[in-house]
Amino acid sequence: MATPRELDAFLADVERRAYKTAWFAVHNEENALDIVQDSMLKLAEHYGDRPADELPALFQRILQNTIRDFYRRSKVRNLWTTLFSALGGGEDEDDQEKIDRLRATDADQAERPEDALEQRRTLDDIEESLAKLPARQREAFLLRYWEGLDTAETAEAMGCSQGSVKTHCSRATQALAADLKAKGHQL
């Protein structure tokens, strides 16, 4: 059973990567934070009594599911918005703002200083390339290489076969390499 200290240490270790993972998926700071918050709460409430070594795989699975839930809700919301627009119906200002935020692809990036160092530029390019990847490829790449899960754990978290994980990872790496080369990076 994970002690509060172990859970605290695990969340402290994973929270920033979880935020970035969510941000790569939804491209919005508030939504990414909400996803991480939901994931943390679900982990603590439902799996807080599990052994500490089970927490990483459980958390990644919860995080990916929460991101998928967010996509589904956004899809439904966008569908209703489109229908209301087509019928000439008005949507309130708050909803319009939320949708605008959803569509904003790089609001956070605009806050970064223009005179960033070369390292920062490389990182930005990697993040940008990652954000452009298909969701499943990005998911597999981040779980496998960033979170350090093995193929079986990644497959478990993604709900797919180990063969699919290998394929997604390979395609993601090739796509990232091609995109970074196109941006002038030497690999």
- Give the interface with another protein as residue ranges (CB under 8 A): 1-4, 7-8, 11-13, 15-17, 19-20, 29, 33, 36-37, 40-41, 43-49, 111, 119-120, 122-123, 126-127, 130, 141, 144-146, 148-151, 166, 169-170, 172-174, 176-177, 187
CB nearer to another protein: pick between 77 and 171 = 171
Residue 23 or 98: which CB sits closer to another protein?
23
Q: Which residues make Cβ contacts (< 8 Å) with residue 73, sequence separation at least 6?
A: none
Closer by beta carbon to another protein, 81 or else 162: 162
Min dist. Cβ of residue 87 to another protein (A): 38
Buried b (16+ CB within 10 A) or exposed e, 3-13: eeeebeebbee
Residue 95 or 124 having the CB closest to another protein: 124
Which stretches within the chain are classed as H helix?
Answer: 4-26, 29-47, 55-86, 93-103, 118-132, 135-141, 151-158, 162-182
State the minimum distance, in angstroms, from the CB of residue 95 to another protein.
Answer: 24
Please state the closest distance from residue 3 (CB atom) to another protein, in A.
7
Q: Are 77 and 53 in contact (CB under 8 A)?
A: no
Beta carbon nearer to another protein, 17 or 101: 17
Instruction: Give the shortest CB-27-to-another protein separation in angstroms.
Output: 14
Distances (CA, A) of 43 to 7, 14, 94, 101, 117: 9, 12, 30, 27, 37
Question: What are phi and psi for residue 144, nearest 5 degrees?
Answer: -75, -50
Q: For another protein, which is the closer residue by CB, 90 or 184? A: 184
Q: How far is the CB of 99 from another protein (least distance, A)?
A: 23
Q: How far is the CB of 157 from another protein (least distance, A)?
A: 14
The C-alpha angle with vertex 79 and arms to 75 and 85, in degrees rounded to 5, equals: 140
